[in-house]
Chains A and B, each alone.
Chain A
């Protein structure tokens, strides 16, 4: 039995803080848990904090994009926050650009971005 990544609910936002290096199994579990939780909690936004991650391989990089797409289908915007410089450089070298995934420097900015997005949504008729 592998560890599961906790998904925390704050208001309409779900916070996923990844603290240990991810194994493939955990990423798949997270995708499952998160999509369940978005529906059950009626979340409008998801923040994935990867500031503790030192290694992000191509599989994890791709899964971040997948998770973002899934949440968008369920009506929640995803922001990946706190990517380390070394991780960004590795992903670029791997040819991954996380297209379609919103990013922010840190958790605070990520939350602001989500709030801005939701006000923009609600402002629309």
Chain B
């Protein structure tokens, strides 16, 4: 049996039973999605997909990777992306494609010729469903990447606590990527606000190991080189014990147990500097 005849049979079946197949397909998919997607929208999607598959079969046979399936593939990727954003599982999305198999099965499997055609069509659908899963995973990865970026931005605010004093309340673990962002923001804020004191508050940092301490030290040294004094505050008793046990040297960097103490100290120094300036003028 020549493959062209299979294709011919498939096209005939798909064309003559269009309305009936679409209704059945819609019913199966609708049941699987359980009303989380509007029926009209789903039917429109399936209708477009059906036409695209039909045209592709007519134009290029049954190879899912073939050129004729370009439009079908882009339709499926789009559909999969939307489903991924709406929170559907990849199984549900792939099932939407697989459901067309069940629809065609009774119409084709009556005789040997039809069964062979059905198997080839099933293979085509397998390829297409695989594509939706791939697109789904890619979409999710994009979402995760953008969220990670947003988290990085969100989690590192630099605030001006007083005239001449800026604070960085750190929450979460410090890795080198985050240190870079914190340092950049802190140094830029020092310049922008003309501040001479910076307080890094690590109350929200769960653990301080050698790596985190190294990152903290780097930030302090960088602020110092810009001409600002940097204090580390919010050191919990447990963290102090860990730091000493690890043998980490903070050198001459000022540290405080509470942000309030650090702020009081900084404000006192800022006030003293201002006083000295006045005295210098007189």
Residues from chain A with Cβ under 8 Å of B96 in the complex: none
Query: Is B225 touching A88 in the complex (CB atoms < 8 A)?
Result: yes
Partner of A105, one of B183, B227, B277: B227
Partner of A83, one of B184, B218, B226: B226
Query: Is B227 touching A119 in the complex (CB atoms < 8 A)?
Result: no
A9 close to B (CB within 8 Å): no
Interface of chain A residues 82 through 113 with chain B (CB within 8 A): 83-85, 88-89, 91-93, 97-98, 103-106, 109-110, 112
Query: Is B225 touching A104 in the complex (CB atoms < 8 A)?
Result: no
Residues from chain B with Cβ under 8 Å of A124 in the complex: none
Cα-based distance from A83 to B224 in the complex (angstroms): 10
Given the interface contacts A88-B187, A89-B187, does A103 sit within 8 Å of B226 by beta carbon? Answer: yes
B190 close to A (CB within 8 Å): yes
Partner of A85, one of B191, B221, B273, B277: B191
Query: Is A85 touching B184 in the complex (CB atoms < 8 A)?
Result: yes
Could you say which of B224, B227, B280 has the most chain A C-beta atoms within 10 Å of its C-beta?
A: B227
B133 close to A (CB within 8 Å): no
B129 close to A (CB within 8 Å): no
Query: Is A88 touching B194 in the complex (CB atoms < 8 A)?
Result: no
B276 close to A (CB within 8 Å): yes
Query: Is A105 touching B191 in the complex (CB atoms < 8 A)?
Result: yes
A89 CB → nearest B CB, Å:
6
A78 CB → nearest B CB, Å:
13
B99 close to A (CB within 8 Å): no
Residues from chain B with Cβ under 8 Å of A83 in the complex: 225-227
Residues from chain B with Cβ under 8 Å of A104 in the complex: 227
A68 close to B (CB within 8 Å): no
A84 CB → nearest B CB, Å:
8
Query: Is B280 touching A97 in the complex (CB atoms < 8 A)?
Result: no
B228 close to A (CB within 8 Å): yes
Cα-based distance from A98 to B224 in the complex (angstroms): 9
Query: Is A103 touching B196 in the complex (CB atoms < 8 A)?
Result: no
A95 CB → nearest B CB, Å:
10
B222 close to A (CB within 8 Å): yes
Query: Is B225 touching A91 in the complex (CB atoms < 8 A)?
Result: yes
Cα-based distance from A119 to B227 in the complex (angstroms): 20
Partner of B226, one of A85, A93, A112, A116: A85
Given the interface contacts A85-B184, A85-B187, A92-B222, does A116 sit within 8 Å of B227 by beta carbon? Answer: no
Query: Is B225 touching A103 in the complex (CB atoms < 8 A)?
Result: yes
Given the interface contacts A88-B187, A92-B221, does A105 sit within 8 Å of B280 by beta carbon? Answer: no
10 A/B residue pairs, CB under 8 Å, sorted by A: A85-B183, A85-B190, A89-B187, A92-B225, A93-B218, A97-B224, A105-B194, A105-B195, A105-B196, A109-B194
Task: Give chain A's interface residues, CB within 8 Å of chain B.
Answer: 80-81, 83-85, 88-89, 91-93, 97-98, 103-106, 109-110, 112, 115-116, 119
Q: Beyond the given A89-B187, A89-B222, A103-B224, could you list 20 further A-B residue pairs with CB under 8 A, ordered by the A residue number?
A: A81-B227, A83-B225, A83-B226, A85-B190, A85-B222, A88-B187, A88-B226, A89-B183, A89-B184, A93-B218, A97-B225, A98-B225, A105-B190, A105-B194, A105-B227, A105-B228, A106-B227, A109-B194, A112-B277, A116-B276
